[in-house]
A = this chain, B = another copy of it.
Amino acid sequence: MDRTAKPEALQGLIEKFEDRTARVGILGLGYVGIPLAIAIAREGFPVLGFDILKERTEQINRGESPIKHFSDEDIAEILAAGFEATTEFNRSGECDALIICVPTPLYGSREPDLSFVRATMDVIAPHFRAGQLLSLESTTWPGTTREVLLPYVEGAGRMAGEDFFLVYSPEREDPGNSEFTTRTIPKVAGGLTENCLAAGLALYSAFVDTVVSVSSTEAAELVKLVENIYRAVNIGLANEMKIVADAMALDIFEVIDAAKTKPFGFDAYYPGPGIGGHCIPVDPFYLTWKAREFGIHTRFIELAGEINASMPQYVVDKLVEALNAAGKPLNGARVLVLGVAYKRDMDDMRESPSVLVMERLRDRGADVDYSDPNVPVFPAMRSHRFDLASVELTAENIARYDAVMLLTDHSDFDYELIRRNSAVLVDTRGKFHRDGGVVRA
């Protein structure tokens, strides 16, 4: 291919990215879309944000950050630079680049739920025009961009790689990671054609230091899954090692901390009460589902899923044992759960194992409360309901419970206060020494 003979549409688009005049549309203003909008707007691009939730777009347009780890100042800054949030998806036609950052969850059957992606495509496709770039950032199975997105794009005289450009570039956001920003996390991109990739590189390299191109959208899709499968499997392995160590009366946290001193060939993952968030419990099964089409059973993913999913029950069993040793049944016991967000120092409760633990405790007759400095009131969730507010952690409050369970190890917790005042203390995060009556779970 003669690389100098770029089609006119590509040439025009690249120039708009180079001089920062390209209008960029972010579709989905959540944990991925918000930091992306901030990074692109800061680079000087006009950015338009789309979301289906009117409350969210209004909140943002008022200058309020919808996400804990971004400040109102961050939002005010991009509003001042011309950013606007809207629910009017027909305005997508105004944009030169469209980046889809909508959720890709699982159905209850653990099959991919691409409904948010499809719904987005349904509302924006009528407004596609020549010269646009469309990038999907949502995690998904290898083949999605070509099989699901391309049919929306082609037709009406449009051809991918000639007058419309289609790329897949997986998000790598790590909420709460202060070491890296959207700019400094290398970004992987794959294009449907070489011209598509060229358009994608022109967009992303404008605001990301390192863009890593791969040979196809499918390769880029698999990259993201492999990253998260690695995490799911290693957390599963840590959980299995916890079970073994516990049976041998050894402290798995001590063992992992010592193993971590090996300066090569070991990466520390820790056990916990289960896995949460929108990625690790979900993404791996996108590959499991697609692999089935090829007659392949993804056994590591299944095993990790099974072991990780068994952890909420495992830690509940440990609590039952600990209460039993104190002569009490779980039924009727007052239990205080510490930490309901799925991750340390976050307020995000998606797929949080704490919620699963609380439900199990409640189902077995316990009187459950929680304390979480980042979640003052238990929020409305799709399939969980608790009418609770966070209990303030005072010596007196802690002492009123038959048992305290540490599930998410926020750094705001006063661990010494907790240790001194808990009647029974079950620790799923290795924050307390095993001696002193603390039960490891």
Q: Which residues of A contact B (CB under 8 A)?
A: 142-143, 172, 174, 177, 179-180, 184-186, 188, 210, 212, 214-216, 218-220, 222-223, 226-227, 229-231, 233-234, 236-237, 240-241, 243-245, 247-248, 250-251, 254-256, 258-259, 261-267, 287, 290-291, 294-296, 298-300, 303, 307
Contact = CB atoms under 8 A, between A and B. Distances in A.
Nearest to A185: B263
6 contacts: A180-B263, A210-B261, A222-B250, A229-B237, A244-B296, A267-B267
Contacts of A179: 264
A168 to B, nearest CB: 12
B233 A265 contact: no
Given A223-B259, A251-B219, A307 B296 contact: no
A378 to B, nearest CB: 29
Contact of A214 (B237, B258, B287, B299): B258
Nearest to A249: B218
Contact of A227 (B177, B236, B243, B265): B265
A180 B264 contact: yes
A188 B294 CA distance: 45
A300 B236 contact: yes
A275 B241 CA distance: 22
Q: Which of A185, A259, A261, A263 has the most CB of B within 10 A?
A: A259
**Can you list the 6 inter-chain pairs with the closest CB atoms, starting with the nearest?**
A247-B294, A267-B267, A186-B261, A223-B258, A212-B261, A226-B259
Nearest to A224: B259
Contacts of A244: 287, 291, 294, 296, 298
A248 B222 contact: yes
Nearest to A179: B264
A179 B230 CA distance: 26
Contacts of A243: 296
A229 B261 CA distance: 16
Given A248-B294, A261-B186, A263-B186, A226 B241 contact: yes
